[in-house]
Chains A and B, each alone.
Chain A
Amino acid sequence: MTVGVDFSEWVCPLPLRDYPNVIMGHGGGGKLSAELIEHLFMPAFQNNLLETLGDSTIVTVPQQRLALSTDSFVVHPLFFPGGCIGDLAVYGTVNDLAMSGARPLYLTAGFILEEGLSLSALGSVVERMGAAAQAAGVQIVTGDTKVVEKGHGDGLYINTSGLGVIPDGVHIAPQNAQAGDVVIVSGTIGDHGMAIMSVREGLEFDTVIRSDTAPLNHLVAAMLAASNDIHVLRDPTRGGVASSLNEIARSSRKGILIDERKLPVNPAVASACEVLGMDPIYVANEGKLLAIVARQNAEAVLEAMRQHPLGQQAAIIGEVVEQHPGLLVARTGIGGTRIVDMQIGEQLPRIC
């Protein structure tokens, strides 16, 4: 769906002024800053609102409830199989908005550039952001750029904030899970986290695992069209499915029981997890969602999901129960049970 870094086809539109890399002056508010905006950001994000270049951008929104979200993106490496930090920055905020049932409309983008970052890498990221915004159907309407000294950043950090409108009659929140509801996942889990792991120095594989980074708002719209009585939506990013379901269990004061055998996992992701001693239930996703839906609507929602390209492998993985409130319990492959708690920090490869 998305491509990794491909510098061969990318032509920097900047009059480079002999600077192939970001220098402090690019954040100084002078000519260099202006050129960066005009030649690098504007062509990638092109829209009328951005082109007003005011201190703030004025937008008109429908008379509905608004959803606001912000997220900052730090990822190493900046480019990975299946995407780059730019895709994450757009889809991450779009997906956060979509998880409240909102239709995302506008994004803002803030960039922290590390002195020395190559302008072609930055250009490539920004171009991907433009394409991602188009794919998600949102506009990037205002932005900001700062430069930090070399050694004070990891190349590039991006913050995006987003604004969306929530259709009337839609009430989605983590505390809404009710006993008897079913838990649906939109597809295979753990792809993004293992894609990043597979290119980390010291852990590399000869096999490519691609990130699943994708905008979920269209999938959510399709689900809401099937039934607007969706109780909870969550995109299981850091901490994976386990963390999201734990959070829902705690917010709703209900128990969640899942069947591990029903969790869809790509074979390569499953194998990579075996090799590193990791559990896919804790591994990050960037293009998947969890839905908690009343049992009587589950089939309709599931069917709508499976009709959408991002939900073809959607599956019912469990249910909300009155027992063990606040806890996520998994029925294991051999029919046992275990409590799936949240991890304390990032899941690490283990030897033991």
Chain B
Amino acid sequence: MCLGVPGKVLETYKLHETLMGKVDFGGIIKEVCLAYVPDIQVGEYTIIHVGFAITRLDEQSAQETLALFRETGLLEEELLAADDHAAASETQPS
């Protein structure tokens, strides 16, 4: 279920008494319904499913999650770099 795509709110307005907005998905701009994220501010990110923002994306949580990933298995760092190097030389550079 449920393809959800992150997008940045560019503007908000009311249409048929419902909060709507323009959202930028990496260069693709679409009108979406923002009724379920009534406090969303222009410039914030949200996840869109079938034309509806279903949640605000929390930048701090995202950074914390990524930081957690970066700390995972730090000891294997050197091994990993060696592996990557091997993988990269498998196919010719484009």
Residues of A within 8 A of B (CB): 182, 205-207, 259, 262, 267-268, 270-272, 274-275, 277, 298, 315-319, 335, 350-352
Given known pairs A207-B29, A267-B26, the reply for A275 and B94 (CB within 8 Å) is no
Among candidates B22, B26, B49, B94, residue contacting A270 with C-beta atoms closer than 8 Å: B26
Contact bitstring B41-53, A, C-beta under 8 A = 1, else 0 = 0000000111000
B27 near A317: Cβ-Cβ < 8 Å: no
Question: 23 A-B pairs, CB-CB below 8 angstroms?
Answer: A182-B92, A205-B29, A206-B22, A207-B27, A262-B91, A267-B26, A268-B26, A268-B27, A268-B28, A272-B25, A272-B28, A274-B5, A275-B5, A275-B30, A275-B48, A298-B92, A317-B94, A335-B87, A351-B2, A351-B49, A351-B50, A352-B2, A352-B3
Interface residues of B (CB under 8 A from A): 1-3, 5, 22, 25-31, 48-50, 87, 91-92, 94
What residue in chain A is nearest B91 (Cβ atoms)? A259
- Within the complex, the shortest CB–CB distance from A321 to chain B, in Å, comes to 12
Q: Chain B residues with Cβ under 8 A from A268's Cβ?
A: 26-28
Residues on A with C-beta less than 8 A from B22 are: 206
Minimal beta-carbon separation of B1 from chain A (angstroms): 5
Is the contact region of chain A dominated by helix, strand, or loop, or is it mixed? mixed
Residues of B within 8 A of A298 (CB): 92
* A206 x B94 contact (CB < 8 A): no
Top 6 A-B pairs ranked by shortest CB distance?
A271-B26, A315-B94, A206-B29, A271-B28, A268-B27, A277-B3
Please tell me if the beta carbons of B5 and A352 are within 8 angstroms of each other in the complex.
no
Contacts of B92 in A (CB 8 A): 182, 298, 316
Q: With a CB–CB cut-off of 8 A, which chain A residues contact B1?
A: 351-352
List A contacts of B27 (CB < 8 A): 207, 267-268, 271
What residue in chain B is nearest A270 (Cβ atoms)? Answer: B26
